[in-house]
Amino acid sequence: MTTGSTARRPRFAYAALQRFSMALLGQVGLPADQAHLMTLRMLDADLLGHRTHGLWFLSSYLQRLEAGHIRADAPLEVIASGPASFAWRANRLPGAWVMDQATQQMLAMAATQAVVTATIADCSHIGCLQSYLLPLVEANLFVTLSATNPGIASVAPFGGIDAVLTSNPIAYGIPTSAEPILIDQCTSIASNSFFTAFAERGEKLPGAWLLDAQGQPSDDPAVLQAKPAGTILPLGGTAFGYKGFGLGIAVEALSLGLSGAGRLTGPDMYGQSVFLQVINPVHFAGLPVFLAEMDHLVAACRASRVRDGAPPVRLPGERALAQRREQMQAGIELSEEVFARLRPWASKFDIELPAERAA
């Protein structure tokens, strides 16, 4: 979810931010390969415009590494494996590093298999789902990725008022002949961090997207912090929220049920479980017809007229990929808030802050 004010933000060179992040992560004892992958995925998130999963998150990662909630030296256990599937238990290893291992394994298996499916139990926060789609979709694979935190509950079942699920995101990567379609969305009306951002700014929401603790629709993000707390409505809201509820349950089954690390074992808030699958169109009707159909769909969507004065139709991921290109060229925008969170860490470890790039 893209958040933040419209004020001009300073720009920073990719390489400078990378060095800065790796230096900080190194200081809390993370090996270089793990620090490298965590850094790449945070920078991906900033590039794609998912600011709450970019360097904004680095201070939380540093805290979690110091507190042992992220464990650099945990074993990566193989629970099950077959020619086209694997199930791992990651024991709080860094999410970005575990996901990279899984991505390499999937690409290797997808060379010969029609469909490759993986689950990862109990890794650390993996961050922005969209960034993991890219290497797989670039290999002309259809990708499904879902991940969720069994220790967090903020969404009530449709018709109820007690939080059971959380925002339970699901992402799909779809190859085309040109830019891929990159879908990444939560199954609640919006994500936990979306509402946190409104609450921190002291703003009301544009609509009644929450329920208060008595189950009344509310536009006040403060109800999520109240005691007793309110809940986020599932996608579809008060009228069609049974659909978001259904999708949220599917994400729980895929990520938590299949991986074997769900809400039953009473985990803390730092573990995530993941479902990842790739489908190779070559083994169905073939890649050329798949790409032709997707190209046709994209063209038909783009050709759709819009309301007078409205911007043209955008495909999922289109704006994110445009931001990525622009920021790779002109530097990555970072808000002062990101540095406010990182300055104490830089000071503690005597690491110089990255220099703003000349405009």
Residues between 337 and 356 with contacts to a second copy, criterion CB under 8 A: none
DSSP E strand stretches across 228-320: 231-232, 271-279
Residue 127 has which token pair? 């961050």
Residue 98 has which token pair? 């575990």
Residues between 57 and 86 with contacts to a second copy, criterion CB under 8 A: 79-80, 82, 84-85
Residue 114 lies near a second copy (rule: CB under 8 A) = yes
Q: Which is nearer to a second copy, 161 or 351 (CB)?
A: 161
Region binding a second copy by CB under 8 A among candidate stretches 22-30, 40-48, 295-303, 328-336: 295-303
Residue 252 lies near a second copy (rule: CB under 8 A) = yes
Region binding a second copy by CB under 8 A among candidate stretches 31-39, 127-135, 251-259, 336-344: 251-259
Residue 239 lies near a second copy (rule: CB under 8 A) = yes
Binding-site size, a second copy (CB under 8 A) = 87
Residue 174 lies near a second copy (rule: CB under 8 A) = yes
Q: Which is nearer to a second copy, 121 or 334 (CB)?
A: 121
Residue 315 lies near a second copy (rule: CB under 8 A) = yes
Q: What are phi and psi of 115, to 5 degrees?
A: -140, 135
CB of 46 to a second copy, least distance (A): 21
Residues between 129 and 168 with contacts to a second copy, criterion CB under 8 A: 142, 156-162, 164
3-state secondary structure at position 136: helix
Q: Using CB under 8 A as the criterion, what x/- string covers residues 182-211 for binding a second copy? A: -x-x---xx---------------xx----
Residues between 7 and 66 with contacts to a second copy, criterion CB under 8 A: none
Residue 139 has which token pair? 């290999």
CB of 154 to a second copy, least distance (A): 13
Q: Which is nearer to a second copy, 40 or 84 (CB)?
A: 84
CB of 216 to a second copy, least distance (A): 7
Residue 276 lies near a second copy (rule: CB under 8 A) = no
CB of 49 to a second copy, least distance (A): 14
Residue 303 has which token pair? 């050709």
* Side-by-side strand order, sheet with 231-232: 217-218, 210-211, 231-232
Q: Which is nearer to a second copy, 40 or 301 (CB)?
A: 301
272 - beta bridge partners? Answer: 123
> Residue 217: which residues within 8 A CB-CB, separation 6 or more?
208, 210, 211, 233, 238
d(CA 25, CA 39): 9
3-state secondary structure at position 328: helix
Residues between 212 and 231 with contacts to a second copy, criterion CB under 8 A: 214-216
d(CA 111, CA 126): 25
* Side-by-side strand order, sheet with 271-279: 77-82, 85-89, 115-124, 271-279, 142-148, 169-174, 181-186
Residue 204 has which token pair? 């009301």
Q: What are phi and psi of 157, to 5 degrees?
A: -60, 145
Q: Which is nearer to a second copy, 16 or 107 (CB)?
A: 107
